[in-house]
Each structure stands twice: as structure tokens, then as C-alpha cells.
Amino acid sequence: MTCVMGILLILVALFIIKLILVSIFFYADIRAAQKKDPAAKSFVEVLLLYQGLHALVSYRIAHFLYKSHLFFLARLLSQATRFTTGIEIHPGAKIGKRFFIDHGMGVVIGETSIIGDDVLLYQGVTLGGTGLAKGKRHPTIGNNVVVGTGAKVLGDITIGDNSYIGANAVVIKDVPANSTVVGVPGRVTRQDGKKIDVSLDHIHTLDPIMQNIEELEKRIKNLENK
Ligand SMILES: CC(C)(COP(=O)(O)OP(=O)(O)OC[C@H]1O[C@@H](n2cnc3c(N)ncnc32)[C@H](O)[C@@H]1OP(=O)(O)O)[C@@H](O)C(=O)NCCC(=O)NCCS
């Protein structure tokens, strides 16, 4: 009985030490989560209950193991974390400061992804590759980018700083800084705060199917007017 109590006490002490260490080393990330999630009521709530934070803590350790060439251990940790959080971050990915994944379930971040500072991802986001080629095959996400729920950002493309990827967009081409992208395939609808009229924009139109449909609509209208 005394032995069981002793083990329990040690486990509780280890858990408390872990919480203190995470609070110290991940202070900025926890504050960022509080800032980016209006539902977050307190520091302790984020520390104890946010899967996005737990996945980030585990990723930082796995990334250290990966850089130390302990690839199997790194992957083991990332897969175990996927099991407990629903978030899969490959240990090879590079992630900047104050990163936050809100809700988290279903997020996948590929091995050669590079993520800047102050990035926010929602549930169901994929930063994925487009083929079987080795080398850099995942996206580079700039600073202060938000990727909406369910969005897929695919291939070795760059998302410029301060951009917003809309929910469920599929982005397969570079996105300039300060842009909002929506749709499948993703097209820029807003840049530097200004709304972009897709039919008039000749630089940022990324959707050839939309262009064809608009062209056909114009021809139908012309025929109807005759
Ligand atoms: C893209 C987004 C940021 C809106 O940006 P915005 O520039 O304010 O967009 P607007 O509301 O002015 O809409 C611009 C156009 O894009 C369309 N649009 C907006 N979001 C869209 C989306 N996710 N997919 C497809 N079209 C979208 C609008 O209908 C509008 O079309 P219109 O010009 O033909 O009327 C936002 O809609 C979004 O998707 N946010 C993601 C939030 C999220 O994931 N939350 C998860 C919380 S759990």
C-alpha cells in the first residue's frame, strides 16, 4: 500500500514538473493561443486542455530527435501524439514561434513544410505534397498566416506573409503576401485589403474553370441580346 502511494506521489510530482516546464518553455505559445482563440478563458485551460499545444510540445521534442538523426524515435513520438491529439506533424517540418492549431483534429503537416511565426491553423488543414518525388515537396507558409478549417495547401508553394486561406480552399499555386484565397482551386479574392474582382483581374486569377464559365456566360448574354 505504501509502495503504491509512493509511486502515485512520484507520478503526480512528475506531472507537476512537466506542467511547470511547459508553462516556462511554451509561455509565448500559450499566450498566442489565448490571443487567437476567443473561447480560451485562461492560461491553465490552454495548458491542460488544448490539443494544439500538446501536439506542439511533442513536435518540438520530436524535431530535436529528428535533427539528432534519431528518425525512428522522432516518428514514434509523432505517431503516438497523432493517436492522442488527432494532429500529425512530421518531425522534419520546420515551425516558427507562437504557432497555434485551434481544435486540431485532422491536421496533417508534411515533412518538408516550413511554417513562419504567428501562424494559425484550424482543424482539418493539410500541408501536403503533390507527388512521390523526394526533396522539398510541401508548402512554405509565411509569417502571420491563417489557414481556415479544412483547407489543403499542396506542393512546394509559398504562401506570402499575412495571408488568409479560406475554409476548404485547395491551394496549389503561390499566394502573394496580404492576400485572401478561397475556392477550389484557390483564387485570390482580396489583396492588400482590397477586394479583387475575379473577372477583371488578370494577375491573380488562379481558376481556369471559372474563367471558362465566365467567358461562356458572356457569350450566352451576347447571344440573348441579339
Ligand atoms: C475567406 C474568409 C477569410 C473571408 O474573407 P473575406 O475577404 O472577408 O471574404 P468575404 O466575406 O468578403 O467574401 C469574399 C467572397 O469569397 C466568398 N467566400 C468567403 N469564404 C469562402 C470560402 N471559405 N470558400 C469559398 N468562398 C468563400 C464569399 O462568398 C464572397 O463571394 P462573392 O464576392 O461572390 O460574394 C472566410 O470566409 C473564411 O473562410 N474563414 C475561415 C475561418 C475558419 O476556418 N474558421 C474556423 C473556426 S472553427
Question: What is the spatial distance between Cα 226 and Cα 207, in angstroms, rounded to a whole number?
Answer: 29
Q: pLDDT by residue (tens digit) across 136-174?
A: 999 999 999 999 999 999 999 999 999 999 999 999 999
Ligand 1 centroid – CA 109 distance (Å): 23
Cα 168 to ligand 1 centre (Å): 10
Q: Collapsing DSSP states into helix, strand and coil, what is residue 44?
A: helix
CB 30 within 8 Å of CB 23: yes
Q: pLDDT digit string (tens) for 107-124?
A: 999 999 999 999 999 999
Portion of the chain with pLDDT greater than 90, in percent: 82
CA-103 nearest atom, ligand 1 = 48
* 56 in Cβ contact with 26 (< 8 Å): yes
Summarised one tens digit per residue, pLDDT across range 191-210 is: 888 787 655 554 554 566 77
- Arithmetic mean of pLDDT, 26-40: 95
Q: What atom in ligand 1 is closest to the CA of residue 165?
A: 1
Ligand 1 center to residue 182 CA distance, Å?
6
Omega before 185 within 30 of 0, i.e. cis? yes
The region that residue 37 occupies, defined by phi over 0 for left and psi between -120 and 50 for alpha, beta otherwise, is beta
Q: Tell me if residue 215 falls in helix, strand or coil.
A: helix
Q: Whose CA is nearest to atom 38 of ligand 1?
A: 166
Q: What is the number of the ligand 1 atom nearest to the C-alpha of 149?
A: 44
Is a pLDDT exceeding 70 seen at residue 88? yes
Q: Are strands 107-109 and 126-128 parallel, antiparallel or unpaired?
A: parallel
